[in-house]
Amino acid sequence: MKKAPNVKKLPKDPLSEAIIFAGDEAWTHAKNWQNDNPANDEIPPVVLAEKQLSELDNLIIVNQGQRYASVYRAGTLTEAQTTAIATKLALAGVKKALFYAADYALLEDWTSQLPRLKSDAESGNSLVVKAPYEEINLLQMADNEKALLLAARYEGLAIHPDSEAFYRYVSGVWEKISPLELSREMGNIYRQYNTNFSKRTVNNVVEALKIIVPVLGEPCKEVIPFANVNDH
């Protein structure tokens, strides 16, 4: 499965935002965005022009584990293509996605629909996208890439800077999560993709997770550390 233009240039931080322009005028709008955008963002946006829209089934549009995405309609974009893009984001682990017009006016907040779109695709009930399970080869993925798959299983995940303990953000509170639970969830991922694993390979992924998740106390989008976090 190949990547859409500029996906390789997206930040590796899963809490960064992916900007996507989709439609038959996507290249023009993407260039205009790079020259002048409200956020002064220097990262080139992902482009889904006519060619890319025709091959969405076999295209990666964001990094696996990406949490935030904003999609801008750039010219003609069908309803089926729009739904396919939202579904691809859901399958990648995106937790918050917004859909904008070309003039940056918000058209729709997809966030509440993402779990349903993901579930439909994974169960084979999506009319626009097939779940890409067969396209993922865990044996060919680096530990940090597998760690992104693991991080995508949790709504919010961060690490304590001193104890290196993991915490997840649940209903406004940081809850400690054990390495065993993370290891077992990684085991579930290996089984999901019919891949054999060892304790060492799972441990390596959990160790890589320490590097890619945010550190408690550092400001990050949509996440506010609370004083309830203690190292117990």
Would the pLDDT of 219 be above 80?
Answer: no
| Integer Cα distance of 117 and 156 in angstroms | 20
Domain extent listing, the chain? 2-134, 138-212
pTM across the whole model: 0.61
Q: What is the mean pLDDT of the chain?
A: 86
pLDDT tens digit sequence for 116-129: 999 888 877 777 77
pLDDT digit string (tens) for 29-54? Answer: 999 988 887 777 789 999 999 999 98
Residue 228 has pLDDT above 50, yes or no: no
113: confidence class by pLDDT, cuts 50, 70, 90: very high
Residue 155, token pair as written in the block: 């709504």
Element of type H or E holding 193: none
CA–CA distance, 217 with 106 (Å, rounded to integer): 31
Residue 90 DSSP SS3: helix
pLDDT in tens, 120-160: 888 777 777 765 544 578 999 999 999 988 988 776 789 99
